[in-house]
Amino acid sequence: MKGCNTAVILAAGAGTRMKSEKPKVLHEVMGRPMVSHVIAQVRAGGAENIIVVVGHGSEKVTAALKEENVQFAVQTEQLGTGHAVMQAAEFLPEDGGVFVLCGDTPLVTADMLKEFAAYHEKSAGVLTVLTAGMDDPTGYGRIIRAEDGSLLKIVEQKDATEEERAVKEINSGMFCFDAAFLKESLPKLSNDNAQQEYYITDLVGMAVESGRGAAAWQTADPDAIMGVNNRVQLAKAGAVMRRRIVEKHMMAGVTMIDPDSVYIEDSVEIGPDTEIWPGVVLRGNTVIGSGCVIRKDTEITDSTIGDRVEIQRSVIKETKVGSMTTVGPFAYLRPGNVIGEDCRIGDFVEFKNSTFGDRSKASHLAYIGDGDVGTDCNIGCGVVFVNYDGKHKFRSTVGDRAFIGSNSNLVAPVSVQDDGYVAAGSTVTKEVHAGALYLERAEEKQLEGWVERKGLKRGE
């Protein structure tokens, strides 16, 4: 039985070509560090024990992966891919299969790894290398086969002859090993080569020469093995992953007006018959219902949106929006809101840490912070929930069917009872009684003929 239950992920390299303070494998593709994608896919591909070999920036890498349930082996000096695997030797099982992967190949998929491991399981050899055909194989190790097609060895570009360099089948850097062979052979690697490194790839020649045999399995999807060494490749990997995600949603019934312009992280769920316009960004644990229209340039993070909601050019974070509600254009829902069903949140309305009952409306230019608003309310234009005295935050409560006139201030802590009315322009500092009109305005005065007297008449 050779099922690959263990995986070693190499992530100790410097990643010099990224020109970054940040270790290479922590650079993000679609909102997640590259190495986290590899971990997630190999776990879904069958590996239960995952060892990440860290070196450069090891503290940052281990800190970033502390929730991932993996073990760490430290490679203090980067003496090659074979040397990196040696550092994980103590974690390797006595038998069974071991994946060796790299932390900088974020496009690897669980399905491909399963197929690969299944091939290894059937093959007679003690290792299988995952290969791909490349139009331009520059930089990769070349797969050298015998005349009968059987695998002979892998030669690094720097050690290759002219003839070997012409080979277009390359080493992806991904392997399945029989654990026993791997454990026993690692100490036998030497660094007698152009780069004076211990190459994991030399194990292929060793397996073949010792008669135990090695196999190669070629993937039909070279994208899935793409390694990222610089920011151009980082963007390319992002584009491939973005495309995979939007296609998954389109196949599940989501309309995308311009799929190349949207950014949707893998964690996002979207119901069927929802329509996504260009420039939309959907991130984190966002769930969008069915039949919604998410219009241009909207950004939604960690939020739950009901069914048949329409959102225009708005920013929404950590908020729940009920079904049939409309939002925007230019609304800003900051963290902590629960918005009811069939509500209207119009242009330039900001919410923070507030609840808003079913069918309530704030159609324009309002700030609702730390407020609890009942059902069927109307929040007029320019209303401010004054929630902050410079040091402390306070809440305001508005009952059902209340009407808050335009340009009013509710100075928290304060409450408006059910059916209370606040006259436009009032500053509310006391409780508004149920069914009462609260009016707070200076008495109006008019100084007749004042403009003429002052000589201020204009246009003369």
Nearer to Ca ion among residue 2 and residue 37 (C-beta): 37
By the rule CB under 6 A, 80 interacts with ligand UD1: yes
Q: Choose from Ca ion, ligand UD1, none: what does 400 bind? Cβ within 5-8 Å by kind.
A: none
β partners of residue 454: none
DSSP 272: T
CB atoms within 10 A of CB 21: 7
364 flagged as catalytic: yes
Q: Which of 284, 359, 280 is nearest to 322 (CA)?
A: 359
As a whole number of angstroms, the distance between CA 332 and CA 298 comes to 10
Radius of gyration in angstroms for the set of CA atoms belonging to the chain, rounded to a whole number: 31
- Which residue shows structure tokens 């399981």? 121
What stretch of H or E contains 245?
A: helix 231-251
By the rule CB under 6 A, 173 interacts with ligand UD1: yes
- What are the distances in angstroms from CA 147 to CA 60, 144, 156? 47, 10, 20
Q: Choose from Ca ion, ligand UD1, none: what does 259 bind? Cβ within 5-8 Å by kind.
A: none
Query: Which residue of 200, 214, 339, 368 would you call a contact of ligand UD1, by CB under 6 A?
Result: 200
Nearer to ligand UD1 among residue 94 and residue 163 (C-beta): 163
Q: Choose from Ca ion, ligand UD1, none: what does 141 bind? Cβ within 5-8 Å by kind.
A: ligand UD1
Write the CB contacts of 451 (distance below 8 Å, at least 6 apart in sequence). Answer: 457
Nearer to Ca ion among residue 139 and residue 253 (C-beta): 139
Site size toward ligand UD1 (CB under 6 A) is: 28
The amino acid occupying position 226 is M
CB 20 within 8 A of CB 235: no
CB atoms within 10 A of CB 399: 19
Instruction: Select the span of 99-107, 183-191, 272-280, 336-344 touching ligand UD1 (CB under 6 A).
Output: 99-107
Q: Choose from ligand UD1, Ca ion, none: what does 323 bind? Cβ within 5-8 Å by kind.
A: none
Least separation, in Å, of the C-beta of 239 and ligand UD1?
Answer: 19
Query: Which residue of 75, 314, 325, 426 would you call a contact of ligand UD1, by CB under 6 A?
Result: 75
Q: Which of 369, 293, 364 is nearest to 336 (CA)?
A: 369
Nearer to ligand UD1 among residue 26 and residue 294 (C-beta): 26
Nearer to ligand UD1 among residue 56 and residue 244 (C-beta): 56
Reported residue count of the chain is 460
Nearer to Ca ion among residue 55 and residue 420 (C-beta): 55
Task: For residue 329, say if its preceding peptide bond is cis, omega within 30 degrees of 0.
Answer: yes
Least separation, in Å, of the C-beta of 258 and ligand UD1?
Answer: 33
* Cα dihedral 421, 426, 431, 437 sign: negative
By the rule CB under 6 A, 297 interacts with ligand UD1: no
Q: For the segment 135-164, give every residue that binds ligand UD1 (CB under 6 A).
A: 140-141, 154, 156
* Selected catalytic residue, list 27, 83, 120, 364: 364
Catalogue the active-site residues.
Answer: 364
Q: Which residues bind ligand UD1 (CB under 6 A)?
A: 10-13, 53, 55, 75, 78-81, 83-84, 102-104, 140-141, 154, 156, 170-173, 199-201, 227
